Structure formats: structure tokens, C-alpha cells
Amino acid sequence: MNGFMTALRSEIFVAKHTFVSKLALIFPALIVVTQNFFSWVADTGNSARNNLISGGSFDEVIASNAYGYFVDSINTGITMLALLMVCIAAHSFSYDRDSGFVRHILIRKVGRTTLILAKFVYLHLLAVTSLTVLLITAYFSTGFFWEYGPVVEDGFELISEEEIIAEILLGLRLAVIPLPAAIGFGLMTSSIAQTATQALMTALGVTLAVDIFKPSLGAYADYLYARFLPSLVDTSYLSEVSRLVRGYSDVLVDDRILQMNLLIPIPTAIIFICINLLIIKQKKL
């Protein structure tokens, strides 16, 4: 346990003095603020044009509700966060190995397995902190441009705030469950690759390739953690929540997909870490 705490403290100390960790904390939040601003500018122009042409409409009611934009914000933010965490995880161990930092830590009676587990925990602490900053920023920036409330048309409440919040919480929970698998994949790539650059390019390349081709895999995609993680080619449940909280009734929720979302990512993360530990025990450092 002492070795684990030594390794974890070393990771946190290094993180305090590196630009990458600070970037991971603020970059997703900055992207969200920028997205909300441009969405507000576009919606303001569209609303003014529609009022001149035909008056109010259901689409205009939807456009004024902040919850839909809040979901869009956290979807974009988690997409950026996931890509950043894959890159940081892929770069972390391989860079420490290339720079000699790993040998320095091992001299301090920290085992290889302990070192990998400490990195895994640190990366999760970084992801949780960044996610917290993202959610706070998304909530307040969205509330600044739009107004939170139920979806109402002609005085009839289509969906209440309680229902909206429940759907958002479910979508958020399902969206973050695959993050440990993404981090585990990046860390595994870091152990396999020969250099930090190779690890970074491989992890990012494979992640983007899987993202692009997963729609063509059909039902087999349900066995990939990336199927449930918000991404550039988004097939996550959170993308459906964006339409649900706007009051659209044509969203079909497959209970089987929700179950797979709960069952697949965590075992995948465990497999990645086990492979990582096997490799690190055999590899020359």
C-alpha cells in the first residue's frame, strides 16, 4: 500500500506541473462554452427570421429551452474528454519510460503492477475532476443563454422538468461508464508501444477508426465499449436524450442496448488492465 501511495503521489505531483493535465481540466469546458455561444447566435437569428415570416412554432419553443442545449454540451464535452483521456493515458507510461522516470519510481520500492494501477487511478481522478468542471460550466453557460423549464406547447406540458432531469441523469450515467475502458485502452497501448509518439498515434488512430466504422458493424458493435461512449460518430444513449428532452416522441429506446451499455464497458476495462499488467511484467524497462 505504501508503494501505491508513493506512485500515486508522484503522479499527482507531476500533474500539478504539466500543461497537459491542466488542458484536460479546462479544454472540454472551453469547447462547451464556445459551442453554446455559437448555438445562441444561430438560434437568435433563426428566431428573428421565423417571427417575421410565420410567427412562433413548436420548433421555436424547443429552441428556447436550455435542457436540450445542456445535453448537447455535455455530449460534446464528454466526446472531447474521452479523446483527451485516451491520448493522455497512451502518452503517460511510454513517456515516463522513455524519460527514465519509471526506473526512478521503481528504485523507490514501487512494483510494476503497483505503478500501472496508480496511473490508472490517477487518470480516473483527472477524468472525474474534468467531468465535474465540464458539468458545472455546461449548466451555467447554458442557463446564461437559454431558460431551463418543462417543454410546453399551447399551454400543455409535453414533458416535465422531473422527467427531463431523470433522462439526463440516465444518459450521463450511461455515457461515463465506458470511460474506464477508454482509459484502460490508452494505458495498454502505452505499455505495448516502443515510444511515446507511437503509443499516442496508435491509440488515437485506433480510437478514431473504431468510431468511424462501428456503424457498419451492425449488432456486433454492441460488444464494443466505443458503441456507448459519446464520440464524433455518436451512437450513445446520450445523443437520444438530446431529442427526448426536447419533447420529440419519435425516439425509440431499446432496452437491450441499455443493458449492453451497463454490461460491456467495465469488463472491457478489466481486460485491458489485465493485458497491461501481463505486458508490463514481461517488458524490459
Q: How many domains does the chain have?
A: 1
Residue 62's pLDDT is what? 56
What pLDDT is attached to residue 58?
47
Task: Give the domain extent around 239.
Answer: 2-282
Distances 217 to 97, 211, 221, 229, 268 between C-alpha atoms, Å: 36, 11, 5, 16, 18
Instruction: Assess whether pLDDT exceeds 70 at residue 55.
Output: no
* d(C-alpha 26, C-alpha 34), whole Å: 12
CA distance 197 to 94: 8
Question: Which pTM does this prediction carry?
Answer: 0.89
pLDDT digit string (tens) for 139-164? 999 999 988 988 877 677 778 889 89
